[in-house]
Structures are given as structure tokens and as C-alpha cells.
Amino acid sequence: MRMDAMPDAFLRYERGSLTLDGVALQSIALAAGTPAYVYSQRQILAQLGRLRAAFAPLAPAFHYSLKANANGHLVRLLVEAGCGCDAVSAGEVFMALRAGCAPERIVFAGVGKTAAEIREALARGVGWINIENADELDRVNRLAGESGRRARVALRLNPALQADTHRHIATGHEGAKFGIPLPEARALLARRDRYANLEIAGLHIHIGSQLGRPDESAAAARIALEVAAEFGLGHLNLGGGFPVAYEESAAVPVEDFAGALLPVLAGQGVGVAFEPGRYLVAEAGVLLAEVQYVKRGGRTVVLDAGMTDLIRPALYGARHPIWPLRQAEAGPEPVQVVGPICESTDVLHPGAALPALEPGDYVAVGVAGAYGMSMVSTYNGRPRPVEALVDGDRWRVIRRRETFEDLVRLETI
């Protein structure tokens, strides 16, 4: 059995049935149907607590990165626990505000903010706008002038560092579309008095997601600190990227990142912020699915969930653990677990250690709380899954399953 792969005791078998915070997942699958995302409120708050404890000497601000999972119930939970929000579109700004985040605690980031989005963010009074290029600095300055407001901005640096992570989620290397190369950032800062409607008060740096090396994060922080000191900037936003364990990649503990970053940042007199997404919600979530068919003599299992519901295996070759809801010894042969989508890349796991399964059995795909539901598509005419939250020993639906009507609702007649 894959108990060893389980992130924490919040997921365990009780009387042969997989439970999350003591609630039998089978009962949620039966009541809510599948595919279904289920999250543990307790586990999300525990992750936030662990992050806070690790960085306590810095007393940083944490801006939850909505892109990981923007369900309003989860955003509200984290906002009520003291987080601000990292939003990368006017849509995410809207969702953060709707979940109760104070506008001044929202950071509006993103590579290609349109004028309409910037106007919207200014009108809403967001706390920070992160700037990704010189044209954008001009644009925000002009739009802030037009709106009669002064905008507080941070420049996003591209430190030309290749982070040790999957190439699709590295962002700090030279030639990446993200951030401003250091020489250009310095040149812009040297003439910052030209931007009458901006308060250029900080720097932003994010070298990637699911990071593998604390020393690289420390190197990035050192670069940001150096530039901040040169120009007297008081705020550093050091991005997200704290890793969690999937099957293909172990996670360096967040305490190791703190161990590398604290000596660099402590006592420097700058305010520090982080933007964790994955770390807060990934492990807390599972995707429940029902076995539809078993073929190739048990070597291929077809689920009712596929790449439209969880795209990470298809897009990044990610390996999420898969557990049967009914406890049994894994068989000798690895099982290919696939979805129903008409794409050969719709393989959730090429070789999961699973027991013999039958149609009607349920499985849970683990570590699915981040970049699962937020990347769902309706390809192949598939309504988006239902989402449920386990809170203590109770659970409730926090987003209903889409209907066929939802699939066509916005088409004009």
C-alpha cells in the first residue's frame, strides 16, 4: 500500500476506507459524484502555519497566489487567516476582492496587463502593481495620472538565474518573458523621478515554481537586496515557489528555504513578502474519480477523470500518487491510469502501484489541490468537477458540478 507516499496523517485508511480528516472519501464520492475535488481546510491552515513559523523572524507578509486555486471559499479562508493575495489578471483581482481581501493587500502582477486591467486595478485601489517592462512603467504612470491616483509599484527583476525546476515553470533565466533584466532595471530606477504618478517602492523576484534549491533562492534574494539598497527601496517581494512532494520530485522542506533566506534578509530593514500558491493548497487536495473500465488484462484502468480535470501529468509529466479508496495490497504490476479524453496524452499515471480494480471502484489522485481545478477545461464537452471542503468532521460542496447547460450558457443565439 502506498501509505508511505501520503503527505500526512490527514489522509489515512480507517477500517479499510481512505479518509481525509477522518471523513470517508467514499461517502463524498457517492454523495457529490465524480470527478470531485476535495480539500482539507485543516491541512491548508497547517501549511500556512508551518510557513509562518519557518519565516517568523522576518514576519513577512504572505500573499496567496490565486492561480494555484481560486475557489472563493479557499481564498476567504486564507484571507481570514491573515494572507493578502497575489493576482495576475483583473479577473483574479475581482476574485480576491470578492473573497474579502482588502484592496491594499492585493498585489497585481502579470506579464501582459492590458490598459483596461490596469485602470480597473487602480480604480479598486490595489496595494501594489508589479511592473514587468519599461513600456508598462510608462503605461501605469500615464493611467495613474488619468485616474488622479498615485500608484505604488514594484519592479520585477529578471536575475538571469536558471532555477532547478521543470523547464515549464522556471521564470528567472535570461531570455524568459518574465521580469526586467538587471541593467535595465537599474537604468529605470536611476531616472525614477520621471514617473510623477508612481511610487516605485519595491522589487519583485520569482525564479520559478516547485523550486529545488534554497541556495538559488538565497542568491536571487541577495541580488534583489543589493538593488534595493542601491536605490533605497524598502520592500522585497520574493515570489512563491515553495515545493511539495509529488512522486517524481521530492520536496526540500520549507525550513531549509528559511534557513538559506533568513541570514540574507534578517536585519536588513526591508519589508519582505512571499507569494505561495502550491505550498498552501497542493497537498490538501485530492481528485476523486470512479473506475469505468479495466482493460489489457488489468494493466490499464480508465477513469471518469482525465487531463481536462488535472492537466499536470499531460503538461509537465507530473506524477501524482493514486490511491484506491478501498484499502488493498498493490498488485505486482504497475497500472496505467488513463482518462476518457480523446487525446493520447490523457494519461494520469503511466505506472501506478494499485491493487486490482473493478469498474465502480473509486480512486483518489493525491497532491491535486494546486493547479488542478484552476487549470480545468471543458474540452470534449466536459462540465467542470464539483469541489468540496472538509472542515473538521463535516464536509460541504464549495462549488457545484457544472451542468450541460453551463457548457453552452454563454453562446449567443
Binding stretches for ligand LLP (CB under 6 A): 65, 67-68, 86, 109, 169, 171, 206, 209-210, 239-242, 275-279, 312, 316, 370-371
Amino acid, single-letter form, for residue 21: D
Asked about 342 being catalytic, the answer comes back as yes
Contacts of 408 (CB under 8 A, 6+ apart): none
Distance CA 255, CA 392 (A): 27
Closest residue to ligand LLP, based on beta-carbon distance: 240
Give the CB-side neighbour count of residue 169, counting CA atoms within 13 A.
20
Contacts of 199 (CB under 8 A, 6+ apart): 150, 151, 152, 153
Q: How far is the CB of 106 from ligand LLP (least distance, A)?
A: 13
- On the 0-12 / 13-18 / 19+ scale of CB atoms within 10 A, 324 is buried
Q: How far is the CB of 370 from ligand LLP (least distance, A)?
A: 6
Helix (H, G, I), strand (E, B) or coil at 244: coil
Inter-residue contact 247 to 321 (CB < 8 Å): yes
Q: Which is nearer to ligand LLP, 36 or 170 (CB)?
A: 170
Helix (H, G, I), strand (E, B) or coil at 390: strand
Distance CA 237, CA 1 (A): 42
Q: Which is nearer to ligand LLP, 58 or 251 (CB)?
A: 251
Contacts of 278 (CB under 8 A, 6+ apart): 65, 68, 209, 210, 240, 242, 243, 244, 370, 371
Q: Which is nearer to ligand LLP, 168 or 295 (CB)?
A: 168
Q: Which is nearer to ligand LLP, 310 or 363 (CB)?
A: 310
Q: How far is the CB of 228 from ligand LLP (least distance, A)?
A: 18
Cell numbers given for 87: 493576482
Q: Which is nearer to ligand LLP, 301 or 370 (CB)?
A: 370
Q: How far is the CB of 412 from ligand LLP (least distance, A)?
A: 31
Q: How far is the CB of 150 from ligand LLP (least distance, A)?
A: 24
Q: How far is the CB of 267 from ligand LLP (least distance, A)?
A: 25
Cβ of 292: how many Cβ atoms within 10 Å?
16
Q: Which is nearer to ligand LLP, 32 or 137 (CB)?
A: 137
Which residues are catalytic, by number? 342
